[in-house]
């Protein structure tokens, strides 16, 4: 549990150091499935004032705060719904990063325009539908999560990112660190996509190139990296002996 809190703390601070946040705009959470809880940033606290003690622990099932003395992020109920819906998700990040928000505000998905995108995500980063007046009136954060579920249509693994319409990106991964890295990727591909579309509004790479890049980093035939995890290899494993 201490390890989880340290990881969530570091991932939240990395929102700022990676240039994804203005002021306090953004939050990361991480889950402990065994304990049935997630740990999340407190609402409105600047990144440089965050400590393990300031983090908030929330029960996945009930939404009850079971640890910490502060209120959780205002987006906590959106995180909770995603944890309930997808057992494979271990961490979630929400930011207001510049280029991803621009796509969300424009109501445009981030299309797969090249291998940088395909190395990481198995398809476009989609935009949710607009919420109705009723969905904004009550349980807004939960309804935001439900709109994300509609958009994902049961698959959270191929593309661990979504844009909520008029708002911004939510990203996720097997733990808090990976969800933060997905947020970094989301912003990078959004920026490159905006510039690509300025140079060629009809840009579209061949599908077989896209498939090659996604599969060399992900899935059973992946050959990228030096650890079991394709996105980032912090623990390198020895290379398999090669035929001479």
What residues are annotated to the active site? 119, 224
Distance, CA of 226 to CA of 224 (rounded, Å): 7
CB-facing half-sphere around the CA of 216: CA atoms within 13 A: 11
Closest separation in Å from C-beta 195 to its own copies: 4
Minimum CB separation from its own copies for residue 87, in Å?
25
Nearer to its own copies, 46 or 219 (CB): 46
- Closer CB to its own copies, 24 or 171, in the complex: 24
Cβ count near 71 (within 10 Å): 13
> Residues 46 to 105: which contact its own copies by CB under 8 A?
46, 49, 54, 56, 62, 64-65, 68-71, 74, 96, 98-99, 101-105
* Least CB distance to its own copies at residue 42 (A): 6
Q: Shortest distance, CB of residue 11 to its own copies, whole angstroms?
A: 14
Under rule CB under 8 A, residue 181 binds its own copies: yes
All residues at 6 or more sequence positions from 156 whose CB lies less than 8 Å from its CB, including other chains: 82, 85, 86, 88, 89, 172
Which residues, 20 to 39, sit near its own copies by CB under 8 A?
22-25
63 CB-near residues (< 8 Å, 6+ apart)? 76, 77, 80
User: In this structure, what are the phi and psi dihedrals at residue 9, rounded to the nearest 5 degrees?
Assistant: -60, -50
Cβ–Cβ under 8 Å, residues 28 and 15: yes
Answer yes or no whether residue 1 interacts with its own copies by CB under 8 A. no
Name the one range near its own copies by CB under 8 A: 8-16, 27-35, 78-86, 106-114. 106-114
Nearer to its own copies, 82 or 165 (CB): 165
Order of strands, sheet of 168-173, starting from the edge strand that comes earlier in the sequence: 65-67, 56-59, 37-40, 26-32, 91-95, 168-173, 161-164
Cβ atoms of 29 and 8 within 8 Å: the answer is yes
The only residue of 107, 150, 155, 158 in contact with its own copies, by rule CB under 8 A: 107
Is 58 strand, coil or helix?
strand
Tell whether residue 220 is a contact of its own copies (CB under 8 A).
no
Question: Which of the ranges 4-12, 32-40, 152-160, 227-235 carries the binding residues for its own copies, by CB under 8 A?
Answer: 227-235
């Amino acid at each position: 549990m201490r390890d989880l809190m340290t990881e969530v703390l570091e991932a939240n601070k990395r929102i700022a150091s990676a240039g994804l946040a203005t002021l306090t705009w953004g939050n990361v959470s991480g889950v402990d499935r065994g304990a049935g809880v997630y740990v999340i940033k407190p609402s409105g606290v600047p990144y440089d004032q965050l400590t393990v003690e300031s983090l908030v622990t929330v029960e996945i099932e009930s939404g009850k705060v079971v640890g910490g003395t502060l209120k959780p992020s205002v987006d906590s109920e959106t995180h909770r719904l995603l944890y309930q819906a997808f057992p494979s998700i271990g961490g979630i990040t929400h930011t207001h990063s510049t280029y991803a928000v621009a796509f969300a505000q424009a109501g445009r998905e981030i299309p797969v325009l090249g291998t940088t995108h395909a190395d990481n995500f198995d398809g476009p980063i989609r935009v949710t539908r607009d919420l109705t007046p009723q969905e904004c009136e009550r349980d807004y954060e939960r309804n935001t999560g439900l709109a994300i579920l509609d958009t994902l249509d049961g698959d959270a693994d191929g593309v661990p990112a979504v844009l909520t319409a008029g708002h911004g990106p939510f990203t996720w991964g097997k733990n808090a660190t990976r969800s933060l890295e997905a947020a970094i990727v989301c912003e990078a591909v959004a920026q490159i996509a905006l510039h690509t579309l300025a140079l060629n509004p009809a840009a579209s790479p061949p599908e077989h190139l896209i498939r090659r890049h996604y599969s060399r980093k992900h899935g059973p035939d992946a050959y990228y990296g030096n650890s079991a995890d394709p996105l980032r290899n912090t623990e390198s494993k020895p290379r398999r002996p090669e035929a001479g």
